[in-house]
């Protein structure tokens, strides 16, 4: 498609979407997350141009946008092009001269489903443009640049998780990430476990107000703790005992949000240990507890996602189920015995459709490699 449109052979890069097994709303608290890169991805094809233009083409939106490389927009325009433009703006800010180029984008990460289509778009673009300007970044640095594009240009207040896993994922592995120093540990996903992703079909958006409100509420609780004992700049540094001591000084909602974040950090580290030991019963228990906490304390779920989790509980082969991603809709992640995965997906879809009159998309995914060049 790039060749036919731009009459130039592109270099092509791929960046995956992700599903998070556990560790929700902990990344911006400098805590732990355990995501997996999945086999839904964005492709970015890039070739240089001699006319000083930056031409962006989205196959998904069937739309082309043209800019002057020397006068790129400094602000977002609430358009799909904000993501690639944001990445280019951050790279320019790093001191790279941006030449003219054609960039074509295509992706199959379902949009607005909490599977990080935005991060995939950013990371694929970043690899493509970095290659064009002749610079190579390590995966963690690339992820930070893309997160900055989303925070500073697009205007979404996200943490580092999505860009990090898209840049650094590994086939057949989950990644336990310490969002404080970006050190990580790869945990193999046994071949007999399938990742079944069930889309509630309720749209999710990080740019939406709920994500930001929840984040602010949890951060207010952190400030109360920090005012008493110092050394607690982030909830990563707080304990459940802190909440017992000073919770009374917090707004009730803030206390609940903080209880989720603090307990979720403990669960995420424990979940990685359980996965490592092959203790699937414990892993499932932690996922169930994580969902309860996300839904009841963080109030980040919705009726449909709670039902999707509940409807899975007695299905043969289920190891654990919970809402994944930024919340307020999107997908649940179900860890399921591979041999039962197809039947599980079919029955869960039937049950959900019977309850809500909506046919959910249910995908059996495979843990994939992070972003790389493919042509
Ligand atoms: C979205 C954000 C991430 C993270 C999750 C919640 O996916 O982009 O940074 O905060 O929500 O865990």
Note whether 305 and 330 are within 8 A (CB). yes
Give the span between the Cα atoms of 163 and 143, in whole angstroms.
Answer: 5
Ligand 1 pocket by C-beta < 6 Å: which residues?
Answer: 24-25, 27-28, 158-159, 161-162, 206, 325-326
Q: How far is the CA of 119 from the centre of ligand 1 (A)?
A: 10
pLDDT tens string, the chain, 375 residues long: the values are 899 999 999 999 999 999 999 999 999 999 999 999 999 999 999 999 999 999 999 999 999 999 999 999 999 999 999 999 999 999 999 999 999 999 999 999 999 899 999 999 999 999 999 999 999 999 999 999 999 999 999 999 999 999 999 999 999 999 999 999 999 999 999 999 999 999 999 987 666 689 999 999 999 999 999 999 999 999 999 999 999 999 999 999 999 999 999 999 999 999 999 999 999 999 999 999 999 999 999 999 999 999 999 999 999 999 999 999 999 999 999 999 999 999 999 999 999 999 999 999 999 999 999 999 999
Q: Which tens digits make up the pLDDT trace of 233-284?
A: 999 999 999 999 999 999 999 999 999 999 999 999 999 999 999 999 999 9
Give the span between the Cα atoms of 315 and 287, in whole angstroms.
Answer: 16
Among all chains, which residue has been given the structure tokens 């193999």?
188
**Cβ neighbours, 10 Å, residue 365:** 20
Mutate to test the pocket of ligand 1, among 17, 19, 21, 25 (most ligand atoms within 8 A of CB): 25
Percent of the chain with pLDDT over 90: 97
Mutate to test the pocket of ligand 1, among 31, 110, 159 (most ligand atoms within 8 A of CB): 159
Among all chains, which residue has been given the structure tokens 């110092």?
230
Among all chains, which residue has been given the structure tokens 């580092």?
160
Helix (H) or strand (E) holding 221, with range, is helix 209-229
Among all chains, which residue has been given the structure tokens 């424990």?
270
**Cβ neighbours, 10 Å, residue 343:** 13
Instruction: Indicate if 297 belongs to the active site.
Output: no
Query: Which one-letter DSSP state was computed for residue 297?
Result: I
What pLDDT score was predicted for residue 209?
Answer: 87
Token readout for 49 is 């141009």
Q: What are the start-end ranges of the H helices in the chain?
A: 2-6, 82-93, 117-133, 139-148, 161-168, 209-229, 240-246, 252-277, 280-292, 303-312, 341-356
Strands 101-107 and 53-58: parallel
Smallest CA-to-CA distance from 126 within 113, 110, 139, 112 is with: 139
Catalytic residue (choose from 39, 82, 108, 162) = 162
Strand stretches in 119-273, DSSP E: 173-178, 183-188, 193-199
- What are 332's strand-pairing partners? 198, 323
User: Which residue owns the Cα nearest ligand 1 atom 2?
Assistant: 158
Smallest CA-to-CA distance from 258 within 248, 272, 273, 271 is with: 248
Q: How far is the CA of 302 from the centre of ligand 1 (A)?
A: 16
* Ligand 1 atom closest to 27 (CA): 10
Phi/psi class of residue 67: alpha, beta or left (left: φ > 0; alpha: ψ in -120 to 50)? beta
User: Which residue owns the Cα nearest ligand 1 atom 1?
Assistant: 326
Reduce the DSSP state of residue 265 to 3 states and report it: helix
Sheet holding 318-323, edge to edge: 318-323, 331-337, 193-199, 362-365
């Amino acid at each position: 498609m790039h060749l036919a449109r731009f009459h130039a052979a592109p270099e092509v890069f791929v960046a995956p979407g992700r599903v998070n097994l556990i560790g929700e709303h902990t990344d911006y608290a400098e805590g732990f997350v355990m995501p997996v890169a999945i086999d839904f991805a964005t492709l970015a094809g890039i070739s240089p141009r001699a006319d000083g233009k930056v031409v962006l083409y989205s196959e998904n939106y069937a739309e082309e946008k043209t800019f002057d490389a020397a006068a790129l927009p400094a602000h977002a325009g609430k358009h799909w092009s904000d993501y690639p433009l944001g990445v280019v703006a951050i790279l320019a800010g790093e001191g790279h001269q941006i030449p003219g180029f054609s960039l074509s984008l295509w992706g199959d990460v379902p949009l607005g489903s909490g599977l990080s289509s935005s991060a995939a778009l950013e990371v694929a673009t970043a690899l493509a443009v970095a290659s064009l300007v002749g610079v190579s970044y390590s995966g963690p640095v690339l992820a930070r640049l893309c997160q900055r594009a989303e925070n500073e240009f697009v205007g979404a207040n996200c943490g580092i998780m999505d860009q990090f896993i898209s840049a650094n994922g590994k086939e057949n592995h989950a990644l336990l990430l310490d969002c404080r120093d970006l050190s990580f540990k790869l945990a193999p996903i046994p071949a007999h476990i399938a990742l079944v992703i069930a889309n509630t079909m309720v749209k999710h958006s990080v740019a939406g107000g709920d994500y930001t409100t929840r984040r602010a509420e949890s951060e207010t609780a952190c400030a109360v703790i920090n005012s008493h004992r110092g050394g607690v700049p982030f909830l990563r540094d707080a304990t459940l005992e802190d909440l017992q001591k000073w919770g009374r000084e917090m707004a009730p909602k803030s206390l609940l949000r903080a209880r989720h974040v603090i307990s979720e950090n403990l669960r995420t580290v424990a979940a990685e240990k359980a996965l490592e030991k092959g203790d699937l019963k414990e892993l499932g228990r932690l996922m169930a507890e994580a969902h309860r906490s996300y839904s009841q304390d963080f109030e980040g779920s919705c009726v449909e996602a709670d039902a999707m989790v509940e409807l899975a509980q007695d299905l043969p082969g289920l190891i654990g189920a919970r809402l994944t991603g930024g919340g307020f809709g999107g997908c649940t992640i179900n860890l399921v015995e591979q041999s039962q995965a197809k039947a599980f997906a079919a029955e869960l879809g039937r049950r959900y459709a019977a309850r809500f009159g909506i046919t959910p998309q249910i995908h059996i995914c495979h843990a994939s490699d992070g972003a790389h060049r493919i042509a």
